[in-house]
A and B are shown apart, each in its own frame.
Chain A
Amino acid sequence: MRQRPIEQDIFERRNNFNAVEENLTAEQVKIEASRCLNCKNPQCVKGCPVNIQIPDFIKALKEDNLEQAGEIIRQTSMLPSVCGRVCPQERQCEGKCILGIKSEPIAIGALERYVGDNTEAKKVSIIPSGKKVAIIGSGCAGITAAADLRKAGHEVTIFEALHKFGGVLRYGIPPFRLPRKVLDREIKNLQEMGVKFEKNVIVGKSITLKQLKEDGFDAIFICSGAGLPKMMNIPGENLNGVFSANEFLTRVNLMGANDEDKATPLKVGKSVAVIGGGNVAMDAARTAVRVGFEIVYIVYRRTEAELPARLEEIRHAKEEGVKFVFLHAPNEIIEKNGYVDGMKFEIMELGAPDETGRRSPIGTGRFKVLDVDTVIVALGTGPNPIIQKSASTDGINFATDKRGYFIVDEETRETSIPTIFAGGDVAPVGASNAINAMGAGKKAAKAINKYLANNYNK
Chain B
Amino acid sequence: MGYKILSKKELCPNQFELVIEAPYVVRNAKAGQFIIFRAEENGERVPLTIADVDKSTGALTIVFMAVGYSTQKLAELNVGDELVDLVGPLGQPTHIKKYGTVVCLAGGYGAAPCYLIAKAFKEAGNKVYMIMGARTKNLIFWEEKMKDACTELFITTDDGTLGEKGFVTQVLERIMNSEKVDYAIAVGPLPMMRAVAELTRDKGIYTEASMNPIMVDGTGMCGACRVTVGGETKFACVDGPDFNAHLIDFDEVINRSKIYKDEEKKRSENCNLLKMATK
Contacts and interface: CB of A to CB of B under 8 A. Distances in A.
B222 A250 contact: yes
Ordered nearest first, which 10 A-B pairs have the shortest CB separation? Answer: A247-B222, A227-B221, A338-B255, A265-B263, A200-B87, A264-B44, A263-B44, A206-B24, A163-B85, A240-B259
Given A206-B24, A246-B221, 5 more contacts: A199-B1, A231-B233, A240-B259, A244-B223, A251-B216
Contacts of B127: none
Contact of B42 (A207, A250, A256, A266): A256
Given A163-B38, A240-B258, A250-B221, A263 B43 contact: yes
Contacts of A206: 24-25, 27-28, 87-89
Nearest to A239: B255
B87 A255 contact: no
Contact of B228 (A198, A202, A238, A261): A238
A262 B42 contact: yes
Contact of B260 (A211, A228, A233, A267): A267
Range of interface residues on B (Cβ < 8 Å): 35 or more
A192 B89 CA distance: 30
A201 interface: yes
Interface residues of A, number: 42
B263 A266 contact: yes
Interface string A257-280: 000011111110000000000000
Contacts of B24: 200-201, 206-207
B182 to A, nearest CB: 25
B186 to A, nearest CB: 22
Contact of A200 (B43, B85, B221, B228): B85
Contacts of A229: 221-223
Contacts of B73: 263
Contacts, number: 117
Nearest to B85: A163
A28 interface: no
A237 B84 CA distance: 34
Interface string A211-235: 1000000000000000111010100
Given A237-B233, A267-B260, A163 B84 contact: yes
Contact of B1 (A161, A200, A263, A264): A200
Interface in B224-263: 224, 226, 228, 233, 238, 252, 255-256, 258-260, 263
A208 interface: yes
Classify the interface of chain A: helix, strand, loop or mixed.
Answer: loop
A228 B223 CA distance: 8
B88 to A, nearest CB: 7
A211 B28 CA distance: 10
Nearest to A335: B255
Interface string B28-60: 100000000010001111000000000000000
Nearest to A228: B220
B86 interface: yes
Contacts of A207: 24, 27-28
A225 to B, nearest CB: 9
B63 interface: no
A202 B260 contact: no
Interface string B1-42: 100000000000000000000001101100000000010001
A450 interface: no
Contact of A205 (B90, B224, B256): B90
A240 B255 contact: yes
B70 interface: yes
Contact of B256 (A231, A240, A384): A240
Nearest to A206: B24
A205 B50 CA distance: 14
B116 to A, nearest CB: 16
Nearest to B224: A247
A308 B258 CA distance: 36
Nearest to B86: A200
A417 interface: no
12 contacts: A161-B87, A161-B219, A163-B84, A199-B1, A205-B90, A206-B25, A240-B255, A240-B256, A246-B221, A247-B224, A263-B70, A338-B255
